[in-house]
Amino acid sequence: MKISDLPFGTTDWMNVETTEHAGETGAAFWRTCQFGDIRVRMVEYSKGYLADHWCEKGHILLCLEGQLDTELEDGRTFTLTPGMSYQVADGAEAHRSSTRDGARLFIVD
């Protein structure tokens, strides 16, 4: 990723509008900022959330609160707890997320 033409700035995430995205079960609540080609999100997953699709978008994701389970299409699973992150390239490995008790994430893609 190359970041260019982006002056210094700050983001107060509590003042960014929240959008709701239904999962197969539960919901995701996104606060999204777009900086050129870079999308940055603060995402909260409700208890019992399961993504409704296999995602092929690349991300860098940091777990801030809760526990996030990420399943790869080949069957491998990974669990993130606060302070853990994952990174995956566009089109590299399809993945989907779920959480039993909810999670809060910071995502750059």
At 41-57, the pLDDT tens digits run 999 999 999 999 999 99
Q: What is the pLDDT of residue 3?
A: 82
We report the CATH number of the domain holding residue 88 as 2.60.120.10
- Considering Cα of 93, then 100, then 84, then 52, what sign does the dihedral take? positive
Q: What is the pLDDT of residue 14?
A: 95
Q: What is the pLDDT of residue 49?
A: 98
List the domain range (segments joined by +) for residue 94. 35-108
In a domain, 99, yes or no: yes
pLDDT score of 30 more than 90: yes
**pTM of structure:** 0.91
pLDDT score of 1 more than 80: no
- The stretch 1-22 carries a mean pLDDT of 92
In a domain, 93, yes or no: yes
Q: What is the pLDDT of residue 102?
A: 98
In the three-class reduction of DSSP (H, G, I as helix; E, B as strand; rest coil), residue 14 is classed as helix
Specify the number of domains making up the chain: 1
In a domain, 62, yes or no: yes
In a domain, 24, yes or no: no
Residue 6 exposed, middle or buried by CB count within 10 Å (0-12, 13-18, 19+)? exposed
Q: What is the pLDDT of residue 10?
A: 96
In a domain, 57, yes or no: yes
* Residue 102 · residue 45 · CB < 8 Å: yes
